[in-house]
Structure 1
Amino acid sequence: MQTILSTSYPVHFQETGYDAINEFIAKNGFKTVFILVDENTHEYCLPILQQELEVDVTFEVIEIESGEVNKNLGTCMSIWHALTDLGADRKSLLINIGGGVITDMGGFVASTYKRGIQFINIPTTLLSMVDASVGGKTGVDLGVLKNQIGLFADPEMVIIDPLYLKTLSEIEITSGMAEIIKYGLTYDKSLWHQFIDENKEVDLVGMIHRSIEIKNEVVLEDRLEANLRKILNYGHTIGHAVESYFLESDHKKTLTHGQAIALGMITEAYISSKLFDFPQEDLTLIKKIITRIFGKVPVLKEDYEAVINLMKHDKKNVNGQVNFVLLEGIEKYKIDCKVSVDLIKESLDYYLAE
């Protein structure tokens, strides 16, 4: 597949990527290269990368515990200490190999360590391939509030290899589908149409490439999310709040990001139908298909207030006002939309209804 050129870095695919990383390491004369992993990517993905590395340098592996719950400044501190103890300097390179937690946090760690060292992202989950590793956003959570601490910083390159997807469970693959559906509903309906026929086998590799193209097109036009890039948050205003609520609750099972965004896309499509006459037939189809893929999140009416309170911390908010990305139609988006609390609750009722 053809390399995609982003703001200041390339997104390479498969062998092209490994050739590029070997050339980059050799050209820059790194004595030691640091690799950030969690326990899963250490076991299943690092061996794949090691087989492709053909440079005579020392590699130091830094392992953290997996999961969104560990995407915080405490974990960053442990990584910064490890880099320091292992002798990292301002000319060091950090390779982040893992899902969105690893690439988000690894990019943040690298871009702040000694005021910034170079880093490379190698996403290993579908979600991180089509979303988290591309676009220059880095960051960590603040408590249960997602991505509240971070900055924009570009990697030297991103390497996409679908071979890593073979190490994932089905639920992790499904989680990543939510972001592809988001691109389809907001930007390219041909992606959305691939989900409509449940008997048709999807071209997953092609969908990955097209999703990255879309995100890159959006980022090139609006890197700092002043306007167009906000469309990438469709489904995320309610979705992130639900995800955070389930993460902090002692009585709820933690959701995948995709499950939460799936709920968000259905509820925000419902709100779109009420505010902008988003077609009823499209709303019905969105609910049918997304529910078929993701099932239903067991949110309860008594959860509504807590979820709505968490929305007040959404990064798109301005002057305390919650801002939504909504739809007038497939590929027809509206940004900075104001929604009443009553309509948010009504949308959750619609989601829960059979």
Structure 2
Amino acid sequence: MNSIQANGYDIHFNNEAYLRLNSYLNEKIFSKIFFIVDENTNEYCLPKVLPLVETNTPFEIIEIESGEENKTIETCIQIWSVLLELGADRKSLIINVGGGVITDMGGFIASTFKRGIAFINIPTTLLSMVDASVGGKNGVDFGGLKNQIGTITNPEMVLIDSSFLETLSQREMRSGLAEMLKHGLIAKKSHWEKFKKLSDIDFDTLDELIAESVSIKNAIVTQDPTENGIRKALNFGHTLGHAIETYLLEHPEKEALLHGEAIAVGMILESFISFQQGLLKEEEYLEIKHHLQQIYGTVFFDANDQNSIIDLLIHDKKNEYGKVQFALLNRIGDIKINQTANNEVITKSFSDYNL
């Protein structure tokens, strides 16, 4: 697959990715390389990466615990301290090998350490390949809310190696699939249509779909790097989805959802709101709801859950002038940004979802 030129960096795929990495390492002179991993990517992914890295630059491995609950400023402080202890300087390079937690947080750590050092992302989950790989967003959760502290700083490059997906569970794959479905819903109906029969998708086809999904997101981000306009389209499903994800993480007695699972719920709810606001046709809303529930099932939210989730919306970082902001669908493949919805229609969306 051809590399994709993003805004200030390139995204490379499979074997080409390692060739480009080695070429880059030969051209640049780094004092030391630091690989940031979690216990899973340290065991399953880094052993594949290291033999393919051709450099005489000394390196260190920094391992953190996996999980969204560790995507905090406290973890960053620990890693900044380790970097100092191991002699990291402004000529060091960080290579983040992991899912969205690692690439989001590793990018934030690199972009703030000594006012910014170079970093490369190697996403290892489907979700991070099609979402976190594009756009330069880095950050951590704060105050129990997702991605409240962060930067927009581009990596030197992103390397996507789809062979890492062989280590993922079906649940993790479905989580990543949600972002790919979102890309089709907001920008390219034909991309959405390709997922109608999941049984027909083999590994080679998946490679092509990943590249297409990355291209869709990249085209949007390139137009609006700092999210002042069309990039807000990527928030479809995320206003309610993030609130749902946060609410369930804060209540250990309830079963937490993976990011993509929560976004799938959010896309159904926000599709209903799109329909209620007179944008999306009912038949397209029902198509979206049916297809997503076939893949992700249904999560029941009682009245207390719904009220708590709605209360969390006020803290969403996408809000402007105290108003909750939505990206809503005009139709499959077309989005309308800077939309608002009252609590009544949001509550109604949960009622319809629970049917």
Answer yes or no: same fold by TM over 0.5: yes
What is the aligned residue count? Answer: 353
Counterpart in 2 of 1:110? 110
**TM-score, normalised relative to structure 1:** 0.98
Equivalent residues of 1:195, 1:289 under 8 A apart? no
In the alignment, residue 234 of structure 1 is paired with which amino acid?
A: F
Query: Taking structure 2 as the reference length, what is the TM-score of the superposition?
Result: 0.97
Q: Which position in structure 1 is the counterpart of 2:123?
A: 123
Q: Secondary structure of the residue that 1:255 maps to in structure 2? A: coil
Specify the alignment match of 1:184 in structure 2: 184
Q: Deviations over 1:302-338 (max 9, x none)?
A: 2111101111111110111001000111122111111
Identity score, percent: 50
Distance across 1 between alignment mates of 2:162 and 2:197: 23
Partners of 1:327 and 1:32 in 2: CA distance: 47
Q: Provide the C-alpha distance between the structure 2 equivalents of 1:276 and 1:83, rounded to a whole number of angstroms.
A: 53
- 1:347 corresponds, among 346, 349, 353, to 349
- Rounded to whole Å, the distance in 2 between the matches of 1:229 and 1:170 is 29
Aligned residues of 1:72 and 1:143 also touching (Cα < 8 A): no
Contact kept? 2:105, 2:138, Cα under 8 Å: yes
Match of 1:208? 210
Compute the displacement of 1:102 (Å).
Answer: 0.3
Q: Distance in 2 between matches of 1:196 and 1:18?
A: 33
2:149 matched to which residue of 1?
149
Query: What residue is the counterpart of 1:240 in the other structure?
Result: 242
Q: Deviations over 1:229-253 (max 9, x none)?
A: 0000000001000000000013211
**Counterpart residue number, 1:291:** 293
SS in 2 for 1:196: coil
Gaps of 5+ in 1: none
- 2:75, 2:177 → 1: CA distance? 28
TM-superposition CA deviations, 1:3-39 (whole Å, max 9, x none): 1111111101112110111122222122421000000
Specify the code of the residue in structure 1 equivalent to 2:339.
C
Contact 2:32 2:91 (C-alpha < 8 Å) held by counterparts: no
Query: How far does the alpha carbon of each residue in 1:120-143 deviate from its partner, in whole angstroms, 9 at most, with x for none?
Result: 000000000000121111100013
Which residue matches 2:168?
Answer: 168
**In 2, Cα distance between equivalents of 1:333 and 1:53:** 41
RMSD between aligned alpha carbons? Answer: 1.1
> Could you list the runs of 4 or more consecutive aligned residues of structure 1 that deviate by over 3 angstroms after TM superposition?
none
1:323-338 equivalences in 2 (<5 Å):
323-338=325-340
Superposition deviation, residue 198 in structure 1:
4.7
Distance, in Å, in 2 between the alignment partners of 1:339 and 1:25 is 50
Q: Secondary structure at the match of 1:79?
A: helix
- 1:256-282 CA-partner distances (Å, limit 9, x unpaired): 011100000001000111102411111
Superposition pairs of residues 1-354 of structure 1, within 5 angstroms: 1-201=1-201, 203-353=205-355
Instruction: Identify which range, 77-86 or 53-62, moves more after superposition.
Output: 53-62
Deviation at 1:200, TM superposition (A): 2.8
Q: In 1, Cα distance between the equivalents of 2:58 and 2:301?
A: 49
Contact 1:259 1:297 in 2 (8 A): no
**More off after superposition, 272-281 vs 73-82:** 272-281
1:295 CA displacement: 1.1
Greater shift, 136-145 or 273-282, is seen at: 273-282
1:185 is displaced (CA, Å) by: 0.5
1:184 is displaced (CA, Å) by 0.5
Distance 2:288 2:208 in 1: 22
Q: Flag structure 2 segments of 5+ consecutive residues without an equivalent.
A: none
